[in-house]
Homo-oligomer: A and B are copies of this chain.
Amino acid sequence: MRVGVIGGGQLARMMVPAAIELGVDIAVLGETEESAARIAVTTIGDSTDLDTVLAFAREVDVVTFDHEHVPQEVLRALVDAGVAVRPGPDALQHAQDKLVLRERLQALGVPQPAWARVADADELAAFLDRVGGRAVVKTPRGGYDGHGVRVVAAAHDADDWLADGPLLAEELIDFRRELAQLVARRPSGEIAVWPLVETVQGDGVCREVFAPAPRTTAVVERVAREIAHGLAASLDVTGVLAVELFETVDGRVLVNELAMRPHNSGHWTIDGAMTSQFEQHLRAVLDLPLGSPAARAPFSAMVNVLGGPADGDLDARVPLLMADQPTAKLHLYGKTTRPGRKIGHVTATSDDLDDAVFVARAAAAFFAD
């Protein structure tokens, strides 16, 4: 069996060890020779170009993704050509277009922030009135890691973006914390649910993840599970589905965003779960029975390595980290340093949450400026 991954970033890179262990061949369509997933890159090309993607797809048994940037028309042309595309375009559009997602969640009755499609300054003004004068606007497509997101307080605060088309406006949520519920689903319908996790964001980028989410009520846990399980089935997802959630100060759970691929909130599963999100994603897209999503340790903490040292010399920091934290699990993505760039992560597991968090933070700190 041969899996083809479109996109050569760290998510594709981290699928490679899982493929090797499962005895599955893996091929990657990467953007450049320096792709993070370069060891498995078999084609270098543009993942928005149908001919490129189609030629790549013909070399593999099933196509899946490192990112959401393959256009719907390309995805649909692949399906028409008989390619097994997992997740398929109907599911994937909910991770590609935030307006499509909001409409669907509303139709399904899934709890989410108040929202509106705003096409001009008047519509934004009306929404601002409705939600108390401040709102978040998001470009429906192409945003990631805080890009394409802006807090607005006046009708004309998004004029520049509105020139390119309608936006999604959302109420500002007074949240206690952010959570993420990862699940995986295979085409035959089987679903596996990992423990609910807490995610800590900064400047719109995931910084830390704690698994399981500490001090969580049984109700929040059950609601998160039901939302993610229900969405995986309703949207006909194949592979990993990450549901990013707000836990509000008044105890509600609201859907923020979706990703239909392995996700930063699930990196802890490589070291902390019986089945990693990367192995599970491969199992799911190959329609193989799913592995146990149970935790391997009482607590896991994952800390992202963002940017890296200003001198760019990662190799000089690695031995210091390793000598200081022999139980930390280091994951580097084969990228060069750049401010804010996700270049790696560290996971620690422990019987004690504080201990796991301390070790992961202490290790990641060796890559700070």
A330 to chain B minimum Cβ distance, whole angstroms, is: 6
Q: Is the interface of A mostly helix, strand, loop or mixed?
A: mixed
Can you spell out 23 A-B residue pairs with CB atoms less than 8 angstroms apart?
A1-B315, A14-B20, A17-B20, A21-B329, A21-B332, A22-B318, A22-B330, A23-B330, A23-B333, A23-B344, A25-B334, A39-B39, A39-B40, A274-B327, A274-B329, A275-B326, A289-B322, A290-B322, A290-B326, A291-B326, A292-B326, A296-B297, A296-B349
A103 to chain B minimum Cβ distance, whole angstroms, is: 36
Is there contact, CB below 8 Å, between B327 and A288? no
Is there contact, CB below 8 Å, between B17 and A13? no
A315 to B2, CA, bound (A): 11
Q: Given the complex, which residues of B lie within 8 Å of A329, measured CB to CB? A: 21, 274
Interface readout for A303-340 with B: 1 if CB under 8 Å, 0 if not?
00000000000110011001100110111111000000
Interface readout for A21-44 with B: 1 if CB under 8 Å, 0 if not?
111011000000000000110000
Is there contact, CB below 8 Å, between B289 and A327? no
Task: Tell which of B290, B292, B322, B334 touches A283, judged by Cβ atoms closer than 8 Å.
Answer: B322
A327/B39 contact (C-beta < 8 A), A17-B17, A296-B296 known: no
Task: Tell which of B283, B314, B323 touches A289, judged by Cβ atoms closer than 8 Å.
Answer: B323
A23 to chain B minimum Cβ distance, whole angstroms, is: 3
Interface readout for A263-298 with B: 1 if CB under 8 Å, 0 if not?
000000010001100000001000011111010110
Which residue of chain B has the shortest Cβ distance to A18 in the bound complex? B17
A274 to B347, CA, bound (A): 11
Q: Given the complex, which residues of B lie within 8 Å of A17, measured CB to CB? A: 16-17, 20-21
Is there contact, CB below 8 Å, between A332 and B13? no
Is there contact, CB below 8 Å, between A23 and B314? yes
Is there contact, CB below 8 Å, between B20 and A16? yes
Q: Given the complex, which residues of B lie within 8 Å of A39, measured CB to CB? A: 16, 20, 26, 39-40
Task: Tell which of B22, B288, B344, B349 touches A332, judged by Cβ atoms closer than 8 Å.
Answer: B22
